[in-house]
Structure 1
Amino acid sequence: MNRGRVKEEGCMTNRSLLYIHDHLDKAIELKPQDPMSYYLLGRWCYAVAQLSWIERKVAATLFGEPPSATVQDALKNFLKVEEISPKYSKLNFVFLAKCYRDLGQKGQARKMCDAATSIQTISKEDEEAQKELDSLLSALGVN
């Protein structure tokens, strides 16, 4: 594995994080009933919330103020997806479960895992979601 390439891609990801939020806000403004925009904003919020202290410091040094978001922000967007389009995707339920887990709400996390399990795996995205779901269920102590 080429670690330099991974670091380069990671830096590009941090740079992208700084700009994508504005584009997602604009997409939601233009088409407020599009669940994909809320899903992507939820993913953005979750990714930003997961940045380590050092990643935030590097982003601040390179680009000024680093992006800011919380797991609660991510949860709000993933819930909006379900409000607009129930059972939107297996992966949305996986991220709902991750948010609830991170917020210490294991019961809710398990409910979201159950909801994800109820969605048939038919696409490559669903296969990836299922792998994440299996790992999440194991971490939650569900076999």
Structure 2
Amino acid sequence: MCGIMAEYDTVQNKIKNGYIFKDHLDKAIELKPQDPMSYYLMGRWCYAVAQLSWIERKVAATLFGEPPNATLEDALKNFQKVEEIQPGYSKPNYVFLAKCYRDLGQRDKARKMCQAASSMNTSSKEDEEAQKDLDLLCPALGL
């Protein structure tokens, strides 16, 4: 719910809910460390935090004393953990792996993840959204 609400909320509430979401994910991973969904969601959280603008970080620091902290490497580790637990887990996970590799300058690995995602069926709304990202990502990587 925090993630869905964030799409329509103020920056202040997005940041506040982001902290809540992260706490819930930490607890979920602690309680069920072999659940790939928790790592996928943690990867998404880390990726989103790594993409925060300077102004969003300043707002978070002003309101909460410290902005949320995560890197692309943190996101990548979580998406890789998903694959370690359950290889071929989901099309969206492959797309986010590709995005991380692209953003980290590892284009060959990004292409490989795009190809893996492209080979998967689209069977859910989340898969459809991942396919839209893939349709933009693949050509940018020369596929």
Q: TM-score, normalised by structure 2?
A: 0.91
What 5-or-longer segments of structure 2 have no aligned partner?
A: 1-6
Distance 1:111 1:20, change over 3 A: same
**Deviation at residue 7 of structure 1 after TM alignment:** 7.5
What 5-or-longer segments of structure 1 have no aligned partner?
A: 1-5
8 A contact 2:111–2:138 mirrored in 1: yes
Question: Which runs of at least 4 in structure 1 moved beyond 6 Å after TM superposition?
Answer: none
* Residue 114 of structure 1: aligned partner: 115
Distance 1:104 1:56, change over 3 A: same
Please list, as runs of the form range in 1=range in 2, the aligned pairs for 1:94-113 lying within 5 A after superposition.
94-113=95-114
* Residue 3 of structure 1: aligned partner: none
**Deviation at residue 12 of structure 1 after TM alignment:** 2.2
* Residue 124 of structure 1: aligned partner: 125
Question: 1:68 is matched by which residue type in structure 2?
Answer: N
* Residue 67 of structure 1: aligned partner: 68
Give the whole-Å Cα distance in 2 for the aligned partners of 1:80 and 1:109. Answer: 17
* Residue 16 of structure 1: aligned partner: 17
8 A contact 1:18–1:67 mirrored in 2: yes
8 A contact 2:11–2:56 mirrored in 1: no
**Deviation at residue 11 of structure 1 after TM alignment:** 3.2
Question: 1:126 is matched by which residue type in structure 2?
Answer: D
* Residue 52 of structure 2: aligned partner: 51
Deviations 1:34-72 (A, max 9, x none): 000000000000000000111100111111101100000
Distance 1:57 1:7, change over 3 A: farther
Q: TM-score, normalised by structure 1?
A: 0.91
Identity %, equivalent residues: 72
The alignment yields a C-alpha RMSD, in angstroms, of 1.4
